Structure 1
Amino acid sequence: MTGIKATGERKLMLFSGRGHRELAEDVAGRLGTGVTPAELKDFANGEIYARYEESVRGCDAFVLQAHTAPINHRIMEQLIMVDALKRASAERITVVAPFFGYARQDKKHRGREPVSARLMADLFTAAGADRLMVVDLHTAQIQGFFDGPVDHLHAMPLLADHVARLVGSSELTIVAPDAGRVRVAERWTDRAGCALAIIHKRRDPSRPSEISVQDVVGEIAGRTCVIVDDMIDTGGTIVRAAEALAARGAAEIIAAATHGVFSGDAAERLAASAVSRLIITDTLPLPPGFHFDDLTVLSISPLVARAIREVFTDGSVTTLFEGES
């Protein structure tokens, strides 16, 4: 039987969807347990079926799923897994979503739009989740959409320490690719003790629908520039930022992000850009066939495992990030 016993009869059990089984197994290994066996399958019409092969009554359940392509299928699978745990009398259910789907839709930009991040939180609540555990939400305020505890983990220390070992800080500039990433970039510079640059995107008055002019504020020429973001999806933001930095004399351009979504032709777009190195974590599996010449994938499993253990033992997840603002 899988699971870790705590005082009394409470037991930690880790469950995995089919989105990123390798990550779940790595997390389980670091916890000293296994992934609880479950039958997960699709019916002919695409409906998802889930059943656990061990008793889960009274357990402290952690359901890990990567919201990767096909993203709606993976989210629905996790919801069904949560519902199955609730109906099988699990004591507490924590949804572990290293990459939280729909996080970019956290507010209405125009009329008649949804707030899909709030809908996601409501769906997990309705399914029976008591707690959420996520890594680097697109915007931190999404935590307020869920009516329960949210453990918001940060990959920045992992990424920043790797960059510091790789480059050092004397000739390093951390770059925010847009206004929304400035606070993230500031936390990087606070940790690394290096310079900060900000890319400000402006619209050409003659072509208001296109972002065609970029201002760069900060020291760039002759320096190693690290563009930091929470995710790389199509690669458009990173590529445009790299072009602006190269035009201003950057010696080397590195892109670092927590989530490697890499939709569509992102690999080709990045390969043809001024980015020389790409650093991500494994919150999501790499898409089939994805290739970049100098790609580093850092493991997020030690952080997730430590956070799960803190939650299970009623410890403090905050202590994992003490000193980070």
Structure 2
Amino acid sequence: MTQKLGIIALESAADIGKKVNETLKKWRGEDFLIGCECPRFNSGEAKGIIRESVRDKDIYIIVDVCNNSLTYNMDGEPNRMSPDDHYQDLKRIIAACNGKAYRISVIMPFLYESRQHRKTMRESLDCAVMLKELEAMRVHDVVTFDAHDPRMQNVVPLKGIENISPALQFSQALLTEYDDIIIDKEHLMFVAPDEGATERVVFLASIFGVNIGMFYKRRDYSTIVNGQNPIVAHDFCGGDVSGMDVVIVDDMIDSGGSMIDVSRQLKDKGAKRVFIFSTFGLFSRGFDKFDKAYEEGVFDRMFITDLIHQKPELLQKPYYCNVKMGRYIAAIIDTMNNGDSLRAIVKPAERIKETIENYKKNKA
């Protein structure tokens, strides 16, 4: 028997929570959204409140730790919410469930502190600490997307971490937007902007039946800037890209310097068009450099999901294609709540192959 379902969307994920609920309502004929809030005292302290019973329900809590558009007042001054604030609110809402829920799963599209995932000196392992805390709070599953380092699953081997790939949605978006893509080794290539993105690129390229390329980040290990060794150059490892459509695949765009650099190099090497797939668009330093690069023809289009908060100005950019994920999250929740396997969702190879075959048939 399917357990009664409940969805709690924190304020940071209110928009995508509504979309997920609307989809599930169409499928099941019920409203599953449970109201919640995390009001704050003047000191900045807070508490989590749930507006209805969660007893014996299969609860899915959605949180966007990257939503920096929200603020709260502390000592009379506005304070922008950081990932730390969003994570603390998540724990407050879990605690407010008081152990009464049948099961609690957390949907955290951008895995909190996922870039602080390994030690290179005496430093914290914040992502690992977070996962251990959620395990201690009896969270049954954590659903995330395109984790920066999927090996973080090893931190809690007896608990579920579902690392979902948006590769299907990217493929569908590209082949819907462009009807002149030629899918073969002579006309299409997938490229990793660094070593860490290689697995994503190999997955897509193997399904599309094309070759891959990779950029190697050459760093200055004698210097540390903002906790990192600065990048000196991006060196390309791959075949000739002259006259080819090239797709750069990465998990996030932060400041964007590296993405623009590798795009420029590919265009300089003769690439016909450069497309960018990025699961998360942070754009932490604004859009000026992207606007300029687009005007110069450095890249042709970027495809980015709506898994995290999207800055309003981004939605107006001519080079931006919004890859919507609300229906996919609804399918994940529906599958988990019914006790079915997530295998086809986690690695949607067959669905991507079907998309490619249909695309080729329509072109024939």
Whether these two folds match at TM > 0.5 is: yes
Task: Give the SS at the match of 2:11.
Answer: coil
Q: 1:116 aligns with which of 126, 130, 146?
A: 126
Which residue is 1:221 aligned to?
Answer: 242
Matches within 5 A, 1:169-208: 169-170=183-184, 171-203=187-219
TM-score after normalising by structure 2:
0.80
Q: CA separation in 2, counterparts of 1:227 and 1:38?
A: 39
Task: Give the SS at the match of 1:13.
Answer: strand
TM-score after normalising by structure 1:
0.89
Structure 1 position 316 matched with structure 2 position 344: no
Q: CA separation in 2, counterparts of 1:284 and 1:300?
A: 10
Which residue is 1:271 aligned to?
Answer: 291
User: 8 Å contact 2:35–2:51 — kept in the other structure?
Assistant: yes
Task: Give the SS at the match of 1:27.
Answer: helix
Q: CA separation in 1, counterparts of 2:135 and 2:221?
A: 45
Task: Give the SS at the match of 1:19.
Answer: helix
Q: 1:243 aligns with which of 264, 285, 298?
A: 264
Matches within 5 A, 1:1-325: 7=2, 10-32=3-25, 33-68=31-66, 69=68, 70-85=82-97, 87=98, 89-109=100-120, 111-146=121-156, 147-165=158-176, 166=178, 167-170=181-184, 171-203=187-219, 210-212=231-233, 214-265=235-286, 267-273=287-293, 274-290=298-314, 292-321=317-346, 324=349
CA pair 218-91 structure 1, distance change in 2 beyond 3 A: same
Once the two structures are superposed, residues 44-74 of structure 1 have per-residue CA deviations (whole angstroms, 9 ceiling, x without a partner) of: 2222322111111111110001111221111
Q: CA separation in 1, counterparts of 2:136 and 2:44?
A: 22
176-185 or 40-49, which deviates more? 40-49
Code of the aligned partner of 2:54:
V
Could you list the structure 1 runs, at least 4 aligned residues long, displaced by more than 4 angstroms after superposition. 203-210
Aligned-pair identity (%):
22
Shift of 1:210: 4.2
125-134 or 304-313, which deviates more? 125-134
Shift of 1:142: 1.1
Code of the aligned partner of 2:238:
V
CA pair 280-52 structure 1, distance change in 2 beyond 3 A: same
Q: CA separation in 1, counterparts of 2:334 and 2:266?
A: 42
CA pair 184-12 structure 1, distance change in 2 beyond 3 A: same
CA pair 309-143 structure 1, distance change in 2 beyond 3 A: same
Q: CA separation in 2, counterparts of 1:194 and 1:122?
A: 40
125-134 or 181-190, which deviates more? 125-134
Shift of 1:292: 2.9
| Paired residue total | 315
User: 8 Å contact 2:194–2:216 — kept in the other structure?
Assistant: yes
Q: CA separation in 2, counterparts of 1:112 and 1:321?
A: 34
209-218 or 245-254, which deviates more? 209-218
Code of the aligned partner of 1:176:
A
Code of the aligned partner of 2:193:
P
User: 8 Å contact 2:107–2:144 — kept in the other structure?
Assistant: yes
Q: CA separation in 1, counterparts of 2:253 and 2:221?
A: 28
User: 8 Å contact 1:18–1:74 — kept in the other structure?
Assistant: no
Q: CA separation in 2, counterparts of 1:129 and 1:204?
A: 41
User: 8 Å contact 2:56–2:101 — kept in the other structure?
Assistant: yes
Which residue is 2:72 aligned to?
Answer: none
Q: CA separation in 1, counterparts of 2:132 and 2:141?
A: 12
Once the two structures are superposed, residues 272-295 of structure 1 have per-residue CA deviations (whole angstroms, 9 ceiling, x without a partner) of: 221221101111011353353221
CA pair 213-36 structure 1, distance change in 2 beyond 3 A: closer
Q: CA separation in 2, counterparts of 1:323 and 1:101?
A: 24
Q: CA separation in 1, counterparts of 2:104 and 2:268?
A: 50
Code of the aligned partner of 2:165:
H
Q: CA separation in 2, counterparts of 1:54 and 1:90?
A: 12
